[in-house]
Each structure stands twice: as C-alpha cells, then as structure tokens.
C-alpha cells in the first residue's frame, strides 16, 4: 500500500472503532448526514499530522489518541453531564486532574501527555508537504483567534446551531466540525469588559427599577449576627426517585422535618453534576452564572465587594473552610478577591475521618466549630462559610459507614448516592442542632450545590421519569428539576424561613436583609424582577413565575415574560463583566455614616481603578 494512502485507511479505521465505542457504550450517535464532512475534516487533520511525522508507527499512535479524545472523550462528557467538551473545559483541566485519583488520574493525564510528547518527538520538516501543513495550520490558527466569525458564520449557516442544546450540535456536526465551530465561537463571543457608557447605562436601568422600599435606609438598624453558610456537595433528595424502590427514606427524619417547616424550600444553582465553584460564586457574589465556564478560574480578576467583603468592612471575621487542595478551582485567588480573610483547606484539618480522599462532613463540622469557638465566645461577628467535600462522585464510604440503603435500580449510583445522603443528612443535622444551641441568634443557610450524577445520560433520573435522557427533550418542569436542591434558611430565634424556589445568586441579598443591612451594594443590581425568578443556564434561561409556572426562554421569538427577563439578564451580565473582569465603573460607593440616602444611579462611581484588596 502506498504510504500516501495510509492516513485515509487509518482515519477510516479509527473513525469506525471510536464511533462504535461512542454509540454502543455511551449511546452517543452522530447523525448520518454529519459524517461525510466530519470525516473529511478528520482526514485533513490526519494528512497534516502525517506530513509532520518522521515515523509512521508514532503517527498512528498520535492519531489514535487524538481521535479517541475527540470521539470517546466527548461521548463520556455527554454521558456524564449532558453536553460535549467545550473550550472552557481546557481551563478546567488542571482542577480535574487534581481531583482524580488512581487509574482515573492516569486515564485522563496519560493520553494528553502522550499526545504532546509524541508530536514533539515525531515532528519533522523534511518534506515540502510539512511546510504546506504548517502554512494551513498557521492560517487556520490566525483566523480562529483574530477572525473567528469567518469560521462560525458559514458553519452556522450550513449546519445550523442551537445556543442551548450543545448535545444536539455535537451529533448534528460530528466531533471535528463541532470542535472547530465551538473553538471559533469561543473567541467570537469571549466575555469582554464593557466600556463606561454601556456599563453605566445597564447599571442605571437596573437601579431605577428597584422598589421604593429597597431605595431608602429607614426602618431597623443593621444588627450584626453570625452567619453560618454551608454548601453541601451534591446534596439532594433521592426519595424523589419514586421508582428506585428504596428500602427506607435516605434523608434523616430530623432533616426532613426541618425542611418541611420551610415548605420544602429549594435552591436553584447554576449547574448540574459538577462545577461547584459556580454555585459558590453565585451564593457569595450575588450575580448569576450564564455560561458553561468556571467563574473562579478566569472571570474573577478584580477585588470585588461581594458578601464576604461587605461583611468584613463591617467588622466581621470572614472564614472559608473546604477540605480540598487550596488551589482547586483557583479558590486561593478567588476567595481573596471576594473578601475572605482566612481560608482553611485540607492541610488545616486533621484527616481523622475520611471516605477515601473525601473528608467526612461530621469531622469537618466539628473541627470548624473548634476553630471558630473563640469568636463565638467573644461575640465577634463571623461569616463562617463551609464547603463540604464528602458526597462527591463516585460516592465512596469508609468502613465505619456501612450501607444502610438498598434499591431496585440497576444504576449503581442510585444506591451508592442514597447511602451517602443517609450519612450526610444525619451529620448535617447534628451540626445544625449544635450550632443553634451554641449560637441561637445566628443565621444558618444550608443548600445543595448541584444534583448528583446518577449514571450516564441521566439514567437514574430517567428510570423514574423525572428527567429525559437528552436535554433537548426536557419539559419546562424538568429544567427546574434539573437545578433544584434542598435549601434551609434559619433566621436565628425566628426559625426556618419559607423562601420557595430561590436562585442561588439571590441568597447574599437575603442574608443582608436578615441583618437589616440598608446600605447600597452591588447586590442591588441583581434584585429580582417583580413576580419573576430568573434562572440562567448555558444557552437559555427559565423564569419561575408567581403562580409556579415555568417559562423556558430558549431562542427568539420570546414570550412577553422572556423578553422582560432577557433584557434584565443582559443588563445584569454587562454590570457583572464590568465588576469582575472590567474597570469597575459600576462599583457603588459606600457611605461613611449611618445615614444612607436613596440608591440612585448618580451614586455610581466613575472611577476606573481596580480597588486594592484590604483583606
């Protein structure tokens, strides 16, 4: 066989093999009409690699690794999270490698390292074809970065694009075309800091619509109280899986009783199955996450007066506790920028009760309580923010936590997760009861950061009919279910609150209201629309209306409510980009005395300097 035909043969063989794996193992099948163009692009990539290669055997290894990553890697991501690999996942790779252990770490790291090493080792410029391949690659790279619309627009016109359904984009386009298309779109739609006019126009629109009660500083005075804010890893109510056939309710009876007293209030986080940092961003900074990227990684460049910063300026001791490596999701820098004075990570805790690499919630709560005991005794106001780690997939339990729950489900995670919740909810209730006894006036907020992963393509949820296997088939109620987790807010001696379904970005404003905090803050920008609670998701958003109806806003033409919420969301996004990655034209000046005048647009600062972090 002529060497010139080798890339054609190898591409056809690998395409067939990896497509079978994708379809049979992960149920991800490309549309038939997507295959010719996708295969042609993959063949072009093969000839470019071949032109640079010194050894045929190494070329074949490199090609197999790259095609495996594209086709099997995307299928795995779709099966786990409902969507394919996105450009921002490249920036999340470091955090992914930090969390993986054993064979999973090597399964992710070895192919990537092998591709880079083998390409360099096998690289050659000995033939004119290598120079042609280099020219094509350089031209494509320049176009991708500097003129991405030249790639995006013709592909969108020819193959179409759904802004909210990336899974469908993938199966209609194929792995190669999809990667090129979304890579170009990443550069075309990259978040950019707005200029002064755009930022302030959005800010004034948002502030001018605030209710009168929100713009005046009368009423009760600010009353410092301790705040205990607990993010619960993958915390959810598995008993909603009615066909799982559990032998008993996994949730602690005490937790369910407490939750019932709130009318089963729900948090609406921005993510499903992962990306905990985005739930953190919302609950600490009060702005919604709208894209499929990790805000802590590259979208929090400035020092910003988020909830920890606001409270620190009022004399609070602000502490974050998370028993993971400190650099995960860039938390060291992110926590500093939003106002935490202290960050306790895994090295600051005694690892005396572990479920594999995940610290048990019980020992985490106990050790945090010991660390803040002095502040509680001295009546020093404290923001006690705890991010639990136990409950992370794949839900391991130590020998001291034997299985208590059985189920009829064939999806392994349906049972293993329920056993995790069994212990997680009981350890949480022990903490809540102790904290209420120790700090009866304190505000306690607990919530799940996202729903758990329960099998490929939402298998555990599909079996009970609460979700469809594909997001494209979700009903409005399913979209809300997809991002709803238990939430309990305890207002000190006043007891639990009934808050309904609350987007996480509205939590910090609620906390300030419970403290009678009347000063203007950046949290005022995301004040909800009248009778509408907006939950953005990548590519779409939905509105929870006053009557409980769910209005999903995918693509124009929008309904009346969707037009209203879309305009509001665009303004909030502009202000958010200005505050977190821009020049902070919309950063609100804080009054220096107890009297706060009406919060009006003219109270916005025009200063463009990035504020120094005083904490």
251 shares a domain with 164: no
Q: Give me the pLDDT at residue 598, please.
A: 34
Burial of 341 (0-12, 13-18, 19+ CB in 10 A): middle
269 shares a domain with 180: no
Instruction: Name beta bridge partners: 342.
Output: 319
Q: What is the pLDDT of residues 408-458, one digit of tens each?
A: 999 999 999 999 999 999 999 999 999 999 999 999 999 999 999 999 889
Residues 579, 585, 587, 591: what is their CA dihedral angle, to the nearest 10 degrees? 170
Mean pLDDT of the chain: 89
Least trusted range by pLDDT, from 221-225, 236-240, 573-577, 601-605:
601-605
375 shares a domain with 276: yes
278 shares a domain with 378: yes
DSSP state letter for 71: I
Contact between 533 and 506 under an 8 Å Cβ cutoff? The reply is: yes
Pair of tokens at residue 502: 């609350």
The answer as to whether 412 is a domain residue is yes
Residue 555 has pLDDT above 80, yes or no: yes
373 shares a domain with 441: yes
**Spatial separation of the C-alpha atoms in residues 444 and 434, rounded to whole Å:** 12
Contact between 498 and 262 under an 8 Å Cβ cutoff? The reply is: yes
249 shares a domain with 164: no
Residues 233, 238, 244, 250: what is their CA dihedral angle, to the nearest 10 degrees? 100
Q: What is the pLDDT of residues 484-519, one digit of tens each?
A: 999 999 999 999 999 999 999 999 999 999 999 999
232 shares a domain with 181: no
Residue 594 has pLDDT above 60, yes or no: no
Q: Which domain holds residue 248?
A: 222-557
End position of a domain, from candidates 167, 188, 209: 188
Contact between 276 and 292 under an 8 Å Cβ cutoff? The reply is: no
492 shares a domain with 409: yes
Pair of tokens at residue 31: 């549309």
Burial of 374 (0-12, 13-18, 19+ CB in 10 A): exposed
The answer as to whether 598 is a domain residue is no
Higher pLDDT pick, 217 / 84? 84
End position of a domain, from candidates 510, 527, 557: 557
284 shares a domain with 165: no
The helix/strand/coil state of 326 is coil
Side-chain half-sphere CA neighbours of 613 within 13 A: 17
Residue 569 has pLDDT above 90, yes or no: yes
C-alpha distances in angstroms, 434 versus 312, 392, 441, 442, 575?
25, 25, 13, 12, 40
411 shares a domain with 496: yes
Contact between 384 and 369 under an 8 Å Cβ cutoff? The reply is: no
Q: Which residues contact 302 (CB under 8 A, 6 or more apart)?
A: 337, 579, 580, 581, 582, 584, 610, 611
Q: Which residues contact 329 (CB under 8 A, 6 or more apart)?
A: 95, 276, 277, 294, 296, 297
Query: What is the rounded end-to-end Cα distance, in angstroms, of the chain?
Result: 68
Q: Give me the pLDDT at residue 164, please.
A: 77
Residue 137 has pLDDT above 50, yes or no: yes
| DSSP-assigned states of every residue in 221-287 | PP----EEEEEETT---GGG-TTS--SS-SS-HHHHHHHHTTTS-EEE-S-SSS-HHHHHHHHHH--
The answer as to whether 456 is a domain residue is yes
Pair of tokens at residue 169: 């984009």
The answer as to whether 603 is a domain residue is no
The answer as to whether 55 is a domain residue is yes
Say which CATH number the domain at 509 has: 3.40.720.10
DSSP state letter for 358: E
Contact between 332 and 326 under an 8 Å Cβ cutoff? The reply is: yes
Phi, psi of 272 (to 5 degrees): -125, 130
Residue 606 has pLDDT above 70, yes or no: no
**Spatial separation of the C-alpha atoms in residues 481 and 451, rounded to whole Å:** 9
Helix (H) or strand (E) holding 361: helix 361-378
Q: What is the pLDDT of residues 121-132, one digit of tens each?
A: 888 888 889 999
Least trusted range by pLDDT, from 96-110, 129-143, 175-189, 475-489:
96-110
- Radius of gyration in angstroms for the set of CA atoms belonging to the chain, rounded to a whole number: 26
Side-chain half-sphere CA neighbours of 59 within 13 A: 22
**Spatial separation of the C-alpha atoms in residues 452 and 446, rounded to whole Å:** 16
Q: Give me the pLDDT at residue 115, please.
A: 83
Neighbours of 217 (CB within 10 A): 17
The answer as to whether 64 is a domain residue is yes
Q: What is the pLDDT of residues 16-57, one digit of tens each?
A: 999 999 999 898 999 999 999 999 999 999 999 999 998 999
What's the average model confidence in pLDDT over 228-249? 96
Q: Give me the pLDDT at residue 438, please.
A: 95
Beta strands in 93-236 (DSSP E): 227-232
The answer as to whether 210 is a domain residue is no
What's the average model confidence in pLDDT over 386-404? 95
355 shares a domain with 249: yes
The answer as to whether 9 is a domain residue is yes
Q: Give me the pLDDT at residue 399, please.
A: 95
End position of a domain, from candidates 557, 579, 607: 557
Q: How many domains does the chain have?
A: 2
Could you give the angle at the alpha carbon of 378 between the alpha carbons of 372 and 379, nearest 5°? 90
421 shares a domain with 518: yes
Q: Which residues contact 245 (CB under 8 A, 6 or more apart)?
A: 407, 408, 409
Q: Give me the pLDDT at residue 468, please.
A: 94
């Amino acid at each position: 066989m002529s060497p010139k035909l080798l890339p054609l043969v190898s591409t056809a063989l690998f395409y067939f093999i990896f497509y079978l794996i994708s379809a049979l193992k992960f149920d991800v099948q490309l549309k038939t009409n997507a295959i010719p163009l996708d295969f042609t692009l993959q063949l072009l990539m093969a000839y470019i690699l071949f032109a640079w290669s010194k050894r045929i055997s190494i070329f074949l290894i490199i090609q197999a690794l790259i095609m495996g990553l594209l086709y099997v890697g995307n299928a795995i991501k779709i099966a786990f999270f409902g969507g394919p690999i996105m450009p921002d996942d490249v920036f999340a790779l470091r955090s992914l490698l930090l969390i993986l252990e054993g064979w999973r770490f090597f399964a992710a790291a070895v192919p990537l390292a092998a591709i880079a090493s083998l390409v360099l080792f096998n690289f050659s410029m000995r033939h004119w074809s290598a120079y042609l391949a280099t020219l094509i690659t350089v031209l494509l790279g320049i176009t991708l970065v500097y003129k991405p619309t030249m790639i995006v627009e013709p592909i969108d016109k020819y193959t179409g694009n759904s802004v909210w359904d990336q899974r469908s984009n993938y199966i209609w386009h194929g792995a190669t075309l999809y990667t090129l298309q979304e890579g170009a779109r990443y550069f075309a739609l990259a978040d950019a800091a707005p200029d002064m006019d755009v930022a302030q126009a959005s800010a004034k629109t948002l502030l001018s619509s605030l209710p009168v009660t929100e713009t005046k500083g009368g009423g009760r005075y600010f009353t410092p109280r301790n705040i205990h804010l607990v993010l619960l890893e993958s915390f959810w109510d598995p008993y909603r899986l009615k066909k799982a056939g559990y032998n008993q309710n996994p949730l602690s009876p005490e937790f369910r009783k407490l939750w019932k007293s709130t009318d089963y209030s729900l948090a609406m986080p921005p993510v499903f199955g992962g990306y905990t940092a985005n739930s953190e961003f919302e609950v600490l900074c009060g702005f919604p996450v709208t894209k499929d990227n990790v805000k802590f990684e590259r979208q929090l460049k400035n020092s910003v007066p988020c909830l920890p910063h606001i409270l620190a300026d009022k004399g609070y001791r602000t502490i974050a506790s998370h028993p993971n490596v400190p650099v995960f999701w860039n938390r060291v820098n992110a926590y500093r920028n939003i106002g935490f004075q202290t960050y306790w990570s895994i090295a600051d805790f005694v690892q005396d009760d572990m479920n594999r690499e995940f610290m048990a919630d019980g020992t985490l709560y106990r050790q945090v309580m010991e660390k803040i005991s002095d502040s509680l005794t001295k009546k020093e106001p404290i923001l006690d923010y705890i991010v639990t780690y136990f409950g992370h997939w794949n839900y391991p339990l130590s020998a001291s936590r034997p299985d208590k729950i059985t189920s009829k489900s064939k999806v392994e995670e349906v049972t293993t997760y329920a056993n995790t919740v069994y212990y997680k909810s009981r350890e949480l209730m022990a903490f809540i009861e102790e904290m209420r006894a120790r700090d009866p006036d304190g505000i306690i907020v607990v919530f799940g950061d996202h729903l758990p992963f329960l099998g490929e393509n939402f298998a555990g949820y599909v079996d009970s009919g609460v979700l469809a296997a594909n997001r494209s088939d979700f009903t409005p109620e399913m979209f809300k279910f997809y991002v709803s987790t238990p939430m309990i807010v305890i207002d000190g001696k006043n007891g639990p609150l009934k808050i309904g379904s609350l987007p996480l970005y509205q939590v910090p404003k609620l906390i300030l209201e419970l403290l009678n905090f009347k000063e203007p803050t950046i949290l005022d920008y995301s004040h909800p629309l009248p009778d509408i609670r907006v939950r953005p998701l990548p590519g779409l958003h939905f509105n929870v209306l006053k009557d409980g109806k769910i209005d999903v806003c995918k693509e124009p033409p929008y309904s009346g409510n969707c037009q209203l919420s879309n305009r509001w969301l665009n303004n909030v996004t502009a202000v958010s980009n200005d505050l977190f990655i821009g020049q902070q034209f919309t950063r609100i000046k804080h009054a220096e005395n107890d009297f706060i005048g009406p919060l009006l647009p003219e109270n916005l600062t025009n200063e463009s300097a990035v504020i120094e972090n005083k904490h």
